[in-house]
Every structure is written in structure tokens, then in C-alpha cells.
Amino acid sequence: MPSATPMSADRVPVRQKSAGSRIRDSILYSPAWMVVVGLAVREACIAAGHLYHLDIMRWTAFEMANIGRSLAVGHGFSTPFYNGPGTPWNEFSGPTAWTAPLYPWLVSLVFRIVGVYSDAAGFVLLTINSIFSALTSWTIYRIGRRVFDVNVGALSGWIWALSPFAVYWSATWIWETTLSAFLLSLILMVTVEMEGSDRIWVWVRYGLLWGLIALTNTSILAWLPFSGCWLAYRLHRAGKRFLAPVVISGLVFWATITPWLVRNYVVFDKVIFIRGDLGSELRAGNNSLAQGTWVPTYRAGNNPALFAQYKRMGEVAYDAEQARLAKQWITENPERFRALIGRKLLYFWYGLPETPLPRLGHFLFFALTVTSLGGLLLAFVRRLPGVFLFATLMIFYPLVYYITFPTMRYRHPIEPALVILAGLLLASMAEFVNYRMTRSAVRRGV
């Protein structure tokens, strides 16, 4: 079964193997094959389903694409919403901080090269998403191998390569979803691999990577204190310096995100940390119609009246007003709010009941929850290294969605970690069954 030796599980059992067995293992334990096969599956789905062909209403449903269009045509980082037929194409609603900037800038670059809202742009962007998703098999393999053992790494990497949800988000959504999953798995990989290192350049890389994550998906920052404190504690335990590396890494992080913070202050005359839509998200998930997920009529992108208010007031004032209304409703309905939090927690881990997914989709979504929790419990029982990182990620990353609202897509950034924990459980079960069968065969004299 997976060893409890700290971060030293790069081992493969040494035994005589046939040529066929060696070839099989060279594929099964190869992260390169995982990435290649995963990318091929995603590209095949995009091509076979013509998923790159997005009509104008589908394109404009993506706020990332709308901001990318605005950047591409010279109107700057603005206009996250297109409010349906009849809205003039030359109408821009003003500067925005509705999303983190990195992915919309990527979208704008593609639009400038191959055309705004074109089929070619759809194909290129979905391919980029698929590359990020496929590369996540590599980070998953490295994490599983480092923290648990090589069998867990291989099994987890292949699960991700062929995961229907990983394929779905990469092949259908013009969003930062797969980039977020890759970056979070990458920072987890870097964290476990730099354990015990006080080399300054390693910590510079760590701070830079966290800065890129902040400019991609601010929700992931909920895990930053736990990742950083774990590394500092491991240095302290080893009797190594930790203050200088931590301070330097923090300075690099702030240097990475400061230009965007300055942009927000200059444009809005207000301090906005990366993005400024929390009030709107809070209102969309906490209102008289809320049942545990978002209510479209409370979103400016879905409600012409709210969109008109958004344009009239400006984004900062509009978001502040939505925050005020949400807090007022929460204050007046505390019991309902607590009940909604319970539902949101359930939906985050079980899936949304009204989502038009086949039963198999809901089963797989919830099965990953169950098996990852089983893997986490197993890691606790065996006192395996790195369990603190997995546990804090699962506890603290979703908190903002329990307060605002969950969707199945919002869980995707932490699903690489969930797949690794599920891989630990499944690999342990397989080894246990194999052990029992071997003992049984020995007793029978086979």
C-alpha cells in the first residue's frame, strides 16, 4: 500500500519484467502519454461536435469573451456584458474590474490574430483550454508520486486525462476554468516539491506563481496562507531560515499584482483588489428567489433593467448598491440565509439538481466527492505527508461560494487535488484486493 515515508514516493518496485510488460509500464507511468492522450481526446470532442462554432448569443454569454472583444477593438478592459438583440455593437459600458485580467487578455490576443467571435477564435481558445487541461495530468502525476507513491500518481493522472468533466470544461467554455485548475495544481506541485528548501530563487518563483494565480482567479487565494505557512513551518522544523524567503516571496507576489491594483485605483478612484464584483455575486445568491444557486434576474448580464442601472451608475457604484441590498436581505432573513448556506454547501459537493446533466454526470460528480473524502480520511489515518495541504484546500477554497453561490464549474479548480485523493483510495483498495487474493492463492497452494 502507499508508503507513509515523507515526500519520497518516487519508487517503482524492482522486478523482472517481460518486454511487453516494460512497454505497458512505460506508457502507464508516463506523464507525457497522459498529456498526449488527454489532449487528443479533448481535440477530438471539439472537432467532432463542432464545439468551436459558437453563435453570437453563446459568445456574448461569456463575460471573458466580451472583455476580450473590448480589448481587441481598442476600448480597453471594459464592457463585460452584451445585453441581447438590439444592443448596438459599438456601445461600450465603460471600464470594468468584473473579472481578473489574465484570461481576458489572452482572449483579446486570439481575437486580434484570428478575428473577434470567429470560429477560428473559438477553435484556438478551446484548444488552449484543452492544453491547460491536458497538462494538468502532468502536475497531478508529479503531486501523487511525490506525496503518496508512483501508482497513485499514475492512476490519478490517467483519471484526469479521461475525466468527462475535465474534457467538458476545456472543450465548451471560453473561461479561465481549465487555466485555474492547471495553475492550482501547479502551485500544489511546486509547494510539495520545494518543501524544506530555503533557496531564494525557489521562493521568488513561488511568489511569482501566486501573483499569476491572483491575476487569473482570486478565489484560489483563499489557500495561499495555508500553503505559505506550511512551507515556512517545514523550514522552521528543519532548523533552516524561513523569514527571508517568506518576505522575499511576498514582495514578488505584491510586485506582480501591483500594476493591476494601480490600474484599478487610477480608473475607479478606489482601492479594488483585483476584481470588484463581490456585491453583485452576493446579491445573485441571496435574495427572495434564491434556492441555493444564482438567480439570473438578479444579474446585470441577464436583466435589461439591471444592465441599464449598471451603465447609469457605473460599475463601482452599482456593485456597492448590490452589496447593500444583499446585506440588507441577509440581515432581515437570517434563518433563510443559514438554510441557503447549507444548500450551497450541499450543491458544491453534490452538484446542482437543476443542471441538465445525465444521471451518469451527477453520479461521477458526487462519486469524486465521496472517493476524495475517503482518500483524505485514509491519508489522515496513515499520517501521510501533505495531508494538511489537501485538507485546507478542500475546507477553505469553497467558503466564498457557500456565501455567494456555487456552480459545478466553480469546483473545477480544486478537482485535480480531489482526483489525487480519489487515486489514493482506489490504488489502496486495488492493492488490498490484490494482497488478499495473493494470500488466498498461497493458502490454496496455487
Question: The C-alpha cell of 155 is what?
Answer: 492512476
Q: What is the mean pLDDT of the chain?
A: 91
343 domain-assigned: no
211 domain-assigned: yes
Confidence class for position 9, pLDDT limits 50, 70, 90: very low
pTM assigned to the model:
0.93
Place of cell 501591483: 258
| Domain tally, the chain | 1
52 domain-assigned: no
Q: What angle do CA 26, 155, 398 make, to 5 degrees?
A: 140
Query: How buried is 262 (Cβ within 10 angstroms: 0-12 exposed, 13-18 middle, 19+ buried)?
Result: exposed
Higher pLDDT pick, 439 / 30: 30
251 domain-assigned: yes
Judged by DSSP in three states, 423 sits in helix
243 domain-assigned: yes
95 φ, ψ to 5°? Answer: -65, 155
100 domain-assigned: no
For 221, the domain range is: 194-270
Percent share of the chain, pLDDT over 70: 89
8 domain-assigned: no
131 domain-assigned: no
**Beta-carbon count within 10 A of 189 CB:** 21
Confidence class for position 85, pLDDT limits 50, 70, 90: low
Contacts of 363 (CB under 8 A, 6+ apart): none
What is the pLDDT, as a whole number, of residue 435?
Answer: 64
Q: How far apart are CA 178 and CA 131, in angstroms?
A: 9
Question: The C-alpha cell of 423 is what?
Answer: 487515486
